[in-house]
Amino acid sequence: MSNIEQHIIELAGANGLPLSPQQAAAFQRYMELLLEWNQKMNLTAIIEPQQVVEKHFLDSLLLLKAVEIPQNAKVIDVGTGAGFPGIPLLIYRPDICLTLLDSLQKRLNFLQAVCDALGLSAELIHARAEEGSRQPKLRENYDLACARAVAALPVLCEYCLPFVRQGGAFAAMKGPGAAEELNAGAKAIQLLGARAEKSKAFTLPDGSERNIIICRKTSATSDKYPRHGSKIAKTPL
């Protein structure tokens, strides 16, 4: 077993997420593909293997400690980029029905290569978030939407909550400052038919703070939302 495989097993286990040797090997292969493809296209600024394990893989898996994902749940990773948190979730929970949505086709080409190499099955959709959630087959169709993005919470909520069915959840994976984020996002959460359920804080091995904000969908999102992307950015809810 490689050092990387050992490292991910130890870190995940320390957080109550036991990994099998097969799962650790899948993470190792994922990392190899990520670093290989990253030489041709911009997937990640984090290229040191140990950092990939801690800041991408562990960070993604911590979502499982913040929200309960039912068996065979339909999960959408909005603006998935290099596949975080979606692919790590699928490695750990192969029962979930995962959709990876991104606006760049070349990223989806990478993710298809990862799924093929690891024997994973996911639906890959090429669309902007605000266009995707207008599609009838995607709108209010998911038990969980998640986004690991730098956008402010009101913006993320408008992109993601329209995908979530009533009773489902949206998980916003953020850095420090969850209380301020929740304060700023309170109006948007309510307008989009949800309530802020909880916020869970984690510390990564390098000491950096992560917060996962969970919003629970309580009613259907109005047809007014999401608005056009430029409007969302210019005048957040």
Range of the domain at 139: 69-234
Tens digits of residue pLDDT in 208-223: 999 999 999 999 999 9
Asked if residue 77 belongs to a domain, the reply is: yes
* CA dist., res. 40 & res. 199, Å (int): 37
* CA dist., res. 112 & res. 75, Å (int): 17
pLDDT value at residue 24: 98
Strands 74-78 and 142-147 turn out to be: parallel
pLDDT value at residue 149: 79
Alpha helices (H) in 39-152, listed in sequence order: 49-52, 59-61, 63-66, 86-92, 105-118, 129-132
pLDDT value at residue 41: 95
Asked if residue 1 belongs to a domain, the reply is: no
pLDDT of 21 over the 90 cut:
yes
Asked if residue 83 belongs to a domain, the reply is: yes
Asked if residue 37 belongs to a domain, the reply is: no
pLDDT of 150 over the 90 cut:
no
Asked if residue 25 belongs to a domain, the reply is: no
pLDDT value at residue 81: 97
Tens digits of residue pLDDT in 90-144: 999 999 999 999 999 999 999 999 999 999 999 999 999 999 999 999 999 999 9
- pLDDT band for 168, please (50, 70, 90 cuts): very high
Q: How many domains does the chain have?
A: 1
Where residue 117 sits, what CATH number does that domain have?
Answer: 3.40.50.150
Asked if residue 108 belongs to a domain, the reply is: yes
Asked if residue 21 belongs to a domain, the reply is: no
Query: Average model confidence (pLDDT) for the chain?
Result: 96
pLDDT value at residue 170: 98
pLDDT value at residue 58: 98
Q: Are 79 and 129 in contact (CB under 8 A)?
A: yes
Asked if residue 109 belongs to a domain, the reply is: yes
Q: Are 185 and 157 in contact (CB under 8 A)?
A: yes
58-67, 164-173, 175-184: the lowest-pLDDT one: 175-184
